[in-house]
Each structure stands twice: as C-alpha cells, then as structure tokens.
Amino acid sequence: MPKDVLISVEHVSKKYCRSLRHSMLYGVYDVARDMLGLDGHNDQLRETEFWAIDDVSFELQRGECLGIIGPNGAGKSTLLKMLNGILLPDKGKITIRGRVGALIELGAGFHPMLTGRENIYINGAILGVRRKAIHRKFDEIVAFAELEDFIDSPIKFYSSGMYARLGFAVSAHLNPDVLLIDEVLAVGDVAFRLKCFNHVRSLVQSGSAIILVTHSQNDIARVCSRGIVLHHGKPLPAEGLAQAVRQYHELLQTATRETRDQRDTPVRVTAVRTLDSQGMASRQFRSGEHVLVDIHYESRISVDDCVFVIKLASHDLGEFVSFTNRVSGQTIPISVGSGSIIVRLRNVPLLGGNYIVQVHMYDAGTKTFWDQAVPACTFDIIEPDPEIWKEFHTLRIEHDWLINPRFSS
C-alpha cells in the first residue's frame, strides 16, 4: 500500500437478507458452519438475499475527506460498519492503516443512570482510550460539550442535544488517523454543528483521512474533497465532487417522480420545462439570468379564473420560495382543450445548485384543487467556481460594503 494511503477498499461486497425468517435460519446455519470450520460460501446469494454493497473500491489518503452520499438504503452505513470492523465483507478486502475513530453511534455504552462524568470514562474505554488519557483531556471534553453545570447529573436527565454533544466530545478527542462519521453531525443546535464541522476540518488539515456519510449537499461541500454516490449498493462513476452531487440529485428526483399522484381530475398539468430567455429549452442557467417556466395543461372544462402556484425547492432546504398569479393580480382563464402558460422569472438570484420546480393548480372561486406536479422539473444554476458553495448559500442578495461608515445621527 502506498505510504500516504490510509484506507484501501478493494472490490468489497456484503450481502443482506430481506426476510427476517430466512436471515435467522441463515444466521444459525452460518454460525454452525463457522464453528465447525467449514467454508461458508459467502460469495453466493441464497433465497431472499441481495448485495447490500456490490463491488465497491476506493482509496483514501492522508488529508482527504470522502463524502458518501446516496438515498436511504443505498448501503452507506453498511459500508461504514465494514470499514470499522463491526461486520466482515463477504467478498473483497479492506485495509486500514493507523488508529480508527468512528462516530457511528454517539455515546456508545452510555448508561442513563450514571452521571456524565462516569459515562465519559465508560465511552472512552469502549473507544479504546486509557483512563489516564481521558483523565488528562477530561476538562477539555466537558468544555467542548458545554456541559460544565450538568457533568455530575445522571444523563437520563439530559436533553437529546446534550447527550449527543457529550458523545461527540469524547469521540472528537481521540485524534484518530482515520475517522468514520455516520450522519451524526446533524445533531445538536446550529452553533454546536458548526463547532463539529470546524473540528472535522481541523482533523483533515492535521492529516487524518475522513469518511463522512451524509444526506446534505452543504455538508459535503463544506468539508469533503471527494464524493462517492451509492445506489443499491453500487458506486456510480463520478468525476469530482460536483458531478457526484448532481448524480445524487438525479437519483432523488427519479425516486420522488415515481410517487406522483395519478388521480382523475378535469384539469391536469401535462408537461413542465424550463426555457432560456430566447425560448429554447434549457436546464442550465447562470446566476442572474432569466428562467422561463413553460407549463402545459389539458382541461375538460372551461374556467374563468385559475390559480397557478409555482414553488422552488432545494434538496437541503425543501420549498423555500413560492409565487402565484393571485398575488400578482393576474387572472388566467382556461378553455376546454390544451394550452400553455409561461412564467418568466427575471434575473433569478440563485446561487449554484440544483433546484426543483413545483406547480400547483386550483380554481380561484371554488378553491377546488386540480393538479400538482411535484417535482415538475429541475434546473441547475452553474457556478463556475465551485469554491463558492463553501461560503455562500442559495440566494444572491444585492449588497454593498461600507467600511468604517460615519452616519450623522
């Protein structure tokens, strides 16, 4: 293994069983075979089994942070548990160099009846830290968790945020060569999350290799240098972090599109797409350009006043802005047959990312809800400089900087 590679994963696969009944049978069978020293035929699938991780390979060096993204059930946590040595792979080989820290379960071994102080030592022992080492870092851990006033209370009286803070604080003071993080950064309040991120970033800078499992595009952009998208246990081929994030978004869209409502309604949205200012179909825009939303519909009735609601959503924030012809005071009549409407969004002030358009239609008079297209379509705002994601968020607000201003008051 090259000297700076800390994690090497070679063609690793792991199978799981869908049915509990079968899995218990297989479990007893496999345990019996292991105990008798017989070959378990790990590399073959049996009835109701499937590959939860299927032929994953990658290498990670010092100072790199790999983000693993993917929909629920893609196998991210299974992969992390194999890297941590809790589960063994059924095929392939994992090599890890150095001291491994894992934030898979915060506060492993915490006992609710015991005080925070007692639990710090227990958690440390489970993570493999000697009592002396914890003793030395004790004050630092308590200060990081911001629990000075509660450290001698039983942790069953802690809030869930306090519990997670204590768990993170102990794990964070391990100084590992390899750190595995499973979505635990989503806990605690905003201030504590920022603290966790800064801590992770400082570990990367000091030469640790980090693997972060997350759902959040912003988490990935903030700390990761590389990304892997897992889908049904298989890694999607991606070059660079930005492409990985886009692939993940496409996966999410196909997943949500399948759940679209199919009921019978007199007025129906048939197609929605985005156009550029020349009226040409386009899905990629620059920040500040016009985005035209082209909505096609079909109707079996004629209506004097129809309400369209357009919503924009991002994968992190959900729906964050909406607009409607009701507020603009524009009446839209609909006649029998098909028709189309274009909504022009002027100088769209969005920053780089993938955005989802949603369209809802209802009758202004009777408030009868007709149809919704969620998601109707998506578009990308292309940011030439991907670095900008790290410090900026969603909206470009027009602003000026005044240095040492003197206002007469």
* Footprint on this chain of another protein (rule: CB under 8 A): 1, 3-4, 16, 23-24, 27-28, 30-31, 34-35, 37, 40, 42-43, 62, 81-82, 84-100, 102, 104-105, 108-109, 111, 113-114, 118, 121-122, 125-128, 130-131, 154, 177, 207
- Residue placing its CB nearer to another protein in the complex, 73 or 109: 109
- Residue placing its CB nearer to another protein in the complex, 45 or 388: 45
- Residue placing its CB nearer to another protein in the complex, 113 or 402: 113
Instruction: Centre a 10 Å sphere on the Cβ of residue 241 and count the other Cβ atoms it contains.
Output: 20
Closest contact distance (angstroms) between CB of 68 and another protein is: 17
Return the DSSP state at 254: H
Distances (CA, A) of 88 to 37, 104, 118, 203, 247: 17, 16, 32, 27, 29
- Residue placing its CB nearer to another protein in the complex, 83 or 252: 83
- Residue placing its CB nearer to another protein in the complex, 31 or 194: 31
Closest contact distance (angstroms) between CB of 164 and another protein is: 14
Show the CA angle centred on residue 105, arms to residues 104 and 110, nearest 5°: 155
Closest contact distance (angstroms) between CB of 51 and another protein is: 14
Residue with tokens 């958690």: 123
Q: Which parts of 224-382 fold into alpha helices (H)? A: 240-257, 325-328
- How far apart, in whole angstroms, are the C-alpha atoms of residue 69 and residue 245? 8
- How far apart, in whole angstroms, are the C-alpha atoms of residue 105 and residue 88? 18
Closest contact distance (angstroms) between CB of 6 and another protein is: 8
Closest contact distance (angstroms) between CB of 36 and another protein is: 10
Closest contact distance (angstroms) between CB of 27 and another protein is: 5
Determine contact, residues 220/227, Cβ cutoff 8 Å: yes
- Residue placing its CB nearer to another protein in the complex, 124 or 227: 124
- Residue placing its CB nearer to another protein in the complex, 164 or 221: 164
Closest contact distance (angstroms) between CB of 311 and another protein is: 38
Phi/psi of residue 369, each to 5°?
Answer: -80, 130
- How far apart, in whole angstroms, are the C-alpha atoms of residue 167 and residue 145? 8
Tokens of residue 374, six digits = 């969620």
SS3 36: helix
Find the length of the chain. 409
Closest contact distance (angstroms) between CB of 204 and another protein is: 14
Dihedral over Cα of 21, 27, 33, 35: its sign: negative
- Residue placing its CB nearer to another protein in the complex, 87 or 236: 87
- How far apart, in whole angstroms, are the C-alpha atoms of residue 373 and residue 377? 8
Return the DSSP state at 98: S
Determine contact, residues 68/79, Cβ cutoff 8 Å: yes
Residue with tokens 């869908």: 18
Determine contact, residues 8/209, Cβ cutoff 8 Å: no
Closest contact distance (angstroms) between CB of 98 and another protein is: 4
Best CA proximity match to 310, nearest among 376, 229, 235 = 376
- How far apart, in whole angstroms, are the C-alpha atoms of residue 225 and residue 135? 34
Closest contact distance (angstroms) between CB of 47 and another protein is: 18
- Residue placing its CB nearer to another protein in the complex, 103 or 251: 103
- Residue placing its CB nearer to another protein in the complex, 94 or 321: 94
Best CA proximity match to 296, nearest among 347, 361, 369 = 361
- Residue placing its CB nearer to another protein in the complex, 121 or 138: 121
- How far apart, in whole angstroms, are the C-alpha atoms of residue 274 and residue 295? 9
Tokens of residue 227, six digits = 């990304």
Closest contact distance (angstroms) between CB of 92 and another protein is: 7
Q: Which of left, alpha, beta for 394 (phi over 0: left; psi -120 to 50: alpha)?
A: left
